[in-house]
Amino acid sequence: MPLVASSNPTPSVPNAFQKKALWMAITALSVAVIGALVVGFIWLITRVMSFMQPILIPFAVAGVMAYLLEPVVVKLKQWGLSRQKAVWVVFTVSIAAIVGISFIIIPAFVHQGAELAGKMPEYTRTAKRNVTAFATKWNEWLKDYGVDLLHWQAPASPETDTTTPAPPTTPEAPTPQTQPPAVTPGQTPTAPLPGAATSTSPAPDPSLPHTHTGASTPEAKTGVSAYTLQDLLSGDWVGKTLPELGQQLWDFVRSSVGGFLGVFGFILSMIIVPLYLYYFLTESPKIANSWSNYVPLRASEFKDDVVDTLTEINRYLIAFFRGQLVVSLINGFATGLGLVIVGVKFGWLIGLLLCVLGIIPYLGIIICWIPAVIIASVQGGSYLVPADSPWWVFPVVVTAIFVVVQQIDGFFITPKIVGDSVGLHPMTVIVSVFVWSLIMGGLLGAILAVPMTAALKVLFQRYIWQRGVQKRWPTANAKGR
């Protein structure tokens, strides 16, 4: 008997919905694995770079200096000198300039730094008086509205109140304290201690818990904040905050540089950096023409793509370091000159600090603005700002100098020198500075933040975003070419 085919077809397994769900699960797992591998690779690279800082930092310093001096060598070649002679001229003039500037700037830097450290206690006391006077003035104004902030303190919650109430006392018969102790025969009488005749308080019982009867201090508090509102408004926190802030800044710089600035490392770098710089400048044309031959890939379209990507990243590095360093030098000199003109002490020291830290976008200017405002607030005026002016006038003048210099930089200097060389949004730059500072550690990460982010941008554009556009709109992409 022949078999009759069933009219109901067998359902396919898996069905369309199951295939879609399975594909999404595999895709999510793949993305998670790839992300974990990328994070692990970045972590490994940063650990290796942190371990090899004594080797990499002289190499990086020489490379950046070669980036900056290469246009000068090219210009001297155009004037008729050979490359070897041009390199020797640039090398000699640069070393002489660095040594000469060091003999002029370093003693002044050390002198002003020592003077600033010596005046820090006085500045702390003055800042405390200014904050106290400011808080008192505002408190007098608020008293008209029934608010007295200097004598108000938030009640402690049961969870955060660690004080134990004093035990109730019961009236006892007064113990005579004025009678001298009984003297046994042969014993010399002892005089009572000063104040013992008037003391009526009983001796503390060791078995009872310790009670706090005095004013509450920040050290005795627990909870969200170590300071009450009264402490903040009275200015007691200034004496502790300023030294702690200075210590934190010093710890940041010390952890950023690490062991590289030890005595041996510093001497070794003074020898290695000039050698690296000389060979970078001498062999620059050969490196530019033959570096692609050392890429460990066979000749293929993929190797050409890798070479093009590295060339674009190198172009970003050159544009950033050349432009940003020139901009930071201009901003540091202009800011230091403005501070000296208005009479801020240590103005040139702050300007020199900005010349160094100005290469860190946005963050460098903030780091230099903070000590300038603190010094201006406690200096007590200058020949342009009368000493009897309110204490906040001088900090406002200093802030105006920083703002004016930054506006001139934003409208004229940076567009002409740097332009849109890295093509990053300002918010992206700020976030990248913090992220790379955490990943690579301190100052080195902050300096390399923009070029590293630009390199990631190139990689994403070439291998993720651009290929995604080509797959979705191949016809439009072909027409665009």
Q: Report how far apart, in Å, the C-alpha atoms of 151 and of each of 146, 225, 229 are.
A: 12, 18, 9
Please report the pLDDT score of residue 275 as a whole number: 87
Q: What are 340-367's pLDDT values in tens digits?
A: 999 888 888 889 889 888 888 778 888 8
CA dist 96 and 78 (Å) reads 23
Please report the pLDDT score of residue 147 as a whole number: 67
Please report the pLDDT score of residue 56 as a whole number: 76
Of the pLDDT bands very low, low, confident and very high (cuts 50, 70, 90), residue 155 is very low
CA dist 422 and 410 (Å) reads 15
Q: Which of 413, 424, 430, 409 is nearest to 363 (CA)?
A: 430
- Say how many C-beta atoms besides its own lie within 10 A of residue 70's C-beta: 18
Q: To 10 degrees, what angle do helices 363-379 and 347-357 make?
A: 170
- Strand, coil or helix: 182: coil
In this predicted structure, the answer to whether residue 52 has a pLDDT above a threshold of 60 is yes
Q: To 10 degrees, what angle do helices 347-357 and 301-342 make?
A: 170
Domain count, the chain: 1
Please report the pLDDT score of residue 159 as a whole number: 46
Q: Which of 394, 403, 395 is nearest to 370 (CA)?
A: 395
Maximal C-alpha separation, the chain: 139
Q: What are 59-92's pLDDT values in tens digits?
A: 888 888 888 888 889 889 888 888 889 999 988 8
How buried is 300 (Cβ within 10 angstroms: 0-12 exposed, 13-18 middle, 19+ buried)? exposed
- Say how many C-beta atoms besides its own lie within 10 A of residue 172's C-beta: 7
Q: What are 260-273's pLDDT values in tens digits?
A: 445 566 667 677 88
Q: What percent of the chain shows pLDDT beyond 70? A: 66
Q: Which of 177-186, 365-374, 415-424 has the highest mean pLDDT?
A: 365-374
Q: What are 432-473's pLDDT values in tens digits?
A: 888 887 776 666 677 778 888 888 888 888 877 766 555 566
Please report the pLDDT score of residue 5 as a whole number: 53
Structure-block tokens of residue 67: 């980036």
Structure-block tokens of residue 331: 């901003």
In this predicted structure, the answer to whether residue 371 has a pLDDT above a threshold of 80 is yes
Q: Report how far apart, in Å, the C-alpha atoms of 110 and of each of 115, 294, 379 are.
A: 8, 46, 20
Please report the pLDDT score of residue 403 as a whole number: 93
Domain presence at residue 232: no
Average pLDDT, the chain: 73
Please report the pLDDT score of residue 137 as a whole number: 78
Kind plus residue range of the DSSP H or E element containing 330: helix 301-342
Please report the pLDDT score of residue 125 as a whole number: 76
Of the pLDDT bands very low, low, confident and very high (cuts 50, 70, 90), residue 232 is low
Q: What percent of the chain shows pLDDT beyond 90? A: 5
Please report the pLDDT score of residue 452 as a whole number: 83
Can you say whether residue 441 is alpha, beta or left, with left for phi > 0 and alpha for psi between -120 and 50 degrees? left
Q: What are 94-151's pLDDT values in tens digits?
A: 888 878 777 777 777 777 777 777 777 777 777 777 777 777 877 777 777 766 666 5
Q: What are 383-423's pLDDT values in tens digits?
A: 788 877 777 888 899 999 999 998 888 788 777 776 666 66
Domain presence at residue 188: no
CA dist 44 and 67 (Å) reads 28
Of the pLDDT bands very low, low, confident and very high (cuts 50, 70, 90), residue 310 is confident
- The residue among 177 and 312 whose pLDDT is bigger is 312
Domain presence at residue 353: yes
Domain presence at residue 222: no
Domain presence at residue 124: no
Residue type at 106?
Answer: I
Please report the pLDDT score of residue 29 as a whole number: 92
Domain presence at residue 416: yes
How large is the average pLDDT for residues 293-313?
84
Q: What are 10-30's pLDDT values in tens digits?
A: 666 677 788 888 889 999 999
Is the bond leading into 14 cis (omega within 30 degrees of zero)?
A: yes
Domain presence at residue 209: no
Contact criterion met (CB below 8 Å) for 66 and 281:
yes
Q: Find all residues with CB under 8 Å of 398, minimum gap 6, and list them.
A: 339, 342, 344, 369, 372, 373, 376
How large is the average pLDDT for residues 315-328?
82
* Residue 373 backbone dihedrals phi, psi, to 5 degrees: -70, -40
Cut 0.85: pTM above it = no
Per 3-state DSSP, the chain is made up of helix, strand and coil in percentages (nearest 5) of 70, 0, 30
- The residue among 479 and 405 whose pLDDT is bigger is 405
* Residue 326 backbone dihedrals phi, psi, to 5 degrees: -65, -40
Contact criterion met (CB below 8 Å) for 90 and 76:
yes
In this predicted structure, the answer to whether residue 218 has a pLDDT above a threshold of 60 is no
Of the pLDDT bands very low, low, confident and very high (cuts 50, 70, 90), residue 199 is very low
Query: Which residues form the domain of 441?
Result: 305-470
CA dist 481 and 476 (Å) reads 9
- The residue among 257 and 98 whose pLDDT is bigger is 98
Lowest mean pLDDT among 174-188, 329-343, 364-378, 461-475: 174-188
Domain presence at residue 321: yes
